[in-house]
Amino acid sequence: MRYDTITLALPKGRLLKDAVNFLIKAGIDASEVLTETRKLVFVKDNFRFILVKPMDVPTYVYYGTADIGIAGKDVIEEKGYDLYEPLNLGFGECRLSVAEPVDIKEPYDIEKLSFIRVATKYPKITDRYFRSKGIHPEIITLYGSVELAPLVGLADRIVDLVQTGTTLRENGLREVDVILYSTARLIVNRASLKTKYHIIKPIIDKMKRALSD
């Protein structure tokens, strides 16, 4: 590996294409990452791109196995690591919301709720949110298809991502509160920022220019 190599963690899944297109716009040729293969590591010039689960991007960056990464704000908040987050990249727009069945007997009223059983992929954010309202939630952690939980009686409510609202609508659910708005962010390992400042700072500057173009 070149002495000046920077490892960049990219999220597999729906953010990948936008992330790669953004990198290309910033002059970083990550195009090979989009080729249909099972490869998880790609090396190009002084970059090493690694493909990881979206929820794992902050972990790779925090532990320094990646110097920088691209992750949704939702995931960054859930993991809660101390990371430098210099840029909002704008894509991957969605919100993390509380939702409930449209025909629920006691519609959501935060003043009146004493107990809540909620299914989510975001247990930490969910716990923090309800505790800040004086409610100790029972949280059931799921890893996908969260909208199914109220339909089959696993939970009264869910906390999940909403973009168009189609998934909620098609499953008889309605959004009752927004916990956070999310977009993709650039995250940087704090030690790398110091030790590789001369390489990382120009990368951030190129990305900033790409965002303002």
Ligand X SMILES: O=P(O)(O)OC[C@H]1O[C@H](OP(=O)(O)OP(=O)(O)O)[C@H](O)[C@@H]1O
Ligand Y SMILES: Nc1ncnc2c1ncn2[C@@H]1O[C@H](COP(=O)(O)OP(=O)(O)OP(=O)(O)O)[C@@H](O)[C@H]1O
| Phi and psi angles of residue 182, each rounded to the nearest 5 degrees, phi first | -130, 145
Query: Tokens in use for 78?
Result: 């859930």
As measured in angstroms, the least distance from the Cβ of 98 to ligand X is 14
As measured in angstroms, the least distance from the Cβ of 103 to ligand X is 20
Regarding 58 and contact with ligand Y (CB under 6 A), the answer is: no
Q: Where are the beta strands (DSSP E) in 36-188?
A: 41-44, 47-52, 68-72, 84-88, 94-101, 117-120, 138-141, 157-162, 173-182, 184-188
Binding residue for ligand Y, selected from 6, 8, 9, 15, defined by CB under 6 A: 15
Regarding 125 and contact with ligand Y (CB under 6 A), the answer is: no
Residue 36 DSSP code: S
As measured in angstroms, the least distance from the Cβ of 135 to ligand Y is 25
Question: Distance between CA 168 and CA 176 in Å, rounded?
Answer: 11
Angle at 43 between CA 64 and CA 35, to 5 degrees: 115
Regarding 57 and contact with ligand X (CB under 6 A), the answer is: no
Instruction: Find, among 13, 143, 142, the residue nearest to 71 by Cα.
Output: 13
182 binds, among ligand Y, ligand X, none (CB under 5 to 8 A by kind): ligand Y
Looking only at residues 75 through 104 of this chain, which bind ligand Y when binding is defined by CB under 6 A?
75, 92, 94
Q: Which is nearer to ligand Y, 37 or 195 (CB)?
A: 37
Residue closest to ligand X (Cβ): 144
Distance of CA 161 to the CA centre of its chain: 10
Regarding 163 and contact with ligand X (CB under 6 A), the answer is: yes
Part of the chain binding ligand Y (CB under 6 A), chosen from 50-58, 110-118, 126-134, 193-201: 50-58
Sheet of 47-52: strand order equals 41-44, 47-52, 6-11, 68-72, 184-188, 84-88
Q: Which is nearer to ligand Y, 55 or 204 (CB)?
A: 55
Regarding 144 and contact with ligand Y (CB under 6 A), the answer is: yes
Binding site for ligand X (CB under 6 A): 144-147, 160-167
Binding site for ligand Y (CB under 6 A): 11, 13-15, 53-55, 72, 74-75, 92, 94, 144, 161, 163, 182
